Amino acid sequence: MHLNPLLTVAVLAILATAHLPSAHAQATQAKSDFHQADVVETIAFGSCYNPREKRHSLFDAILKHRPDVFVLLGDNIYGDTHDMAMLKAKYAELEAVEPFRKLRDATKMIATWDDHDYGLNDGGKTYSKRAESAQIFLDFFKDPADSPRRKREGVYGSYTFGSGDRVCQILLLDTRYFRDEVPRAKGKRKPGTVGWYEPSTDTTKTLLGEAQWKWLEQQLQVPAKIRIIGSSIQTLAYEKGMENWGNVPHEQQRLFDLLKKHKAHHTFAISGDVHFAELSKKDLEGGYPFYDFTSSGMSHTSKSWANAANSYRVGKALWDMNAGLIEIDWAKQTVHLGIINKLGEKIMNHPLKLSELEFGK
């Protein structure tokens, strides 16, 4: 049998491209809001810094570890005002701190907010100055004019670093702009609690808002070897009655379901807010060990809050002034989660193999 040469070429061309993604699929592949080609090996993070405390040693301590990225997880200042001139003045106090500027100049600094820099203690979507506060926040942290964060409500954002099989993605959530009010705790304070809230049974309440949820699901599909979810409030610990994801358990479960749906291997959370440091772990459905690594208290901490209950805690809580340190060994496929004190000394270290952080088939 003789084949038509032109037909043969056409068939081979079809076969060669059959398994390639379409131009449309390539064009719509999820991407982070920001990308930097440099591979990162050391990421530091912290929260709860009040310039008026005049305790700046953590910035110098962090610099000793030469981080590639530094993440501020909120309460970066203590604004708490409806006066935007006053809020700007509080940011100016942070700008005046020389060790802060030195750290910013030496590394890639990214940030989200919590309630006090948002502008209202325990504030949510009812804060009347949220839009104005967001613009001040983005201006202070020098988001470029074409930043995706300037084109939508809230300050959430995503960042990828590296290339190939050494990509690390950092997702910074906004737990303030869209948040509904949560129930106040009733009755006498229980032992092991701090106050002030209890879980809501109202499944219409939201923490992130639908636009941010849609964005988050897209971001979980961005190719990354390691994925870090930055939440200003804790994602796991809930018993002590402070603000946390457990106050809206249906939203917490939605997060867990998304991680499982997209098999977000090698994903863990970092958080702040509570004025002490701890590591929490929960085994999700399917056996995935989800960690929430909390560092809080760059200028002031609370021993009594550190002693509050947390059934997910791994090891001990620490109430030294602290910052978090994430050290990635790409060759060995490991991550070390560490806490440093104001001298830069490592006072906690928890090693993880990436092979441990995987969903079952």
pLDDT at 5: 43
pLDDT at 187: 83
- pTM tops 0.75, yes or no: yes
pLDDT at 7: 37
Q: How far apart are CA 166 and CA 39, in angstroms?
A: 7
pLDDT at 286: 84
What's the CA dihedral at 149, 159, 164, 229 to 10 degrees?
Answer: -130
Strand pairing class (34-36; 157-161): parallel
| Cβ-Cβ contacts under 8 Å for 23 (sequence gap 6 or more) | none
**Residue that is written with structure tokens 């991550």 in the block:** 335
pLDDT at 190: 85
| Cβ-Cβ contacts under 8 Å for 99 (sequence gap 6 or more) | 56, 57, 59, 60, 63
- Taking residue 42's Cβ as centre, other Cβ atoms within 10 Å add up to 17
* pLDDT < 70 positions in the chain: 1-28
Q: How far apart are CA 44 and CA 328, in angstroms?
A: 11
Domains and their CATH numbers in the chain: 39-356 (3.60.21.70)
DSSP of 13-64, one letter per residue?
HHHHHTTSPPHHHHHTS---SEEE-SPP-EEEEE----GGG---HHHHHHHT
Q: How far apart are CA 40 and CA 330, in angstroms?
A: 9
The 3 state secondary structure assigned to 79-113 is CCCCCHHHHHHHHHHHHCCHHHHHHHHHCEEEECC
Q: In the chain, count H helices and then E strands.
A: 10, 14
pLDDT at 3: 40
pLDDT at 358: 96
- C-beta separation of 289 from 335 below 8 A: no
Q: How far apart are CA 271 and CA 236, in angstroms?
A: 10
At CA 312, angle to CA 223 and CA 167, rounded to 5? 15
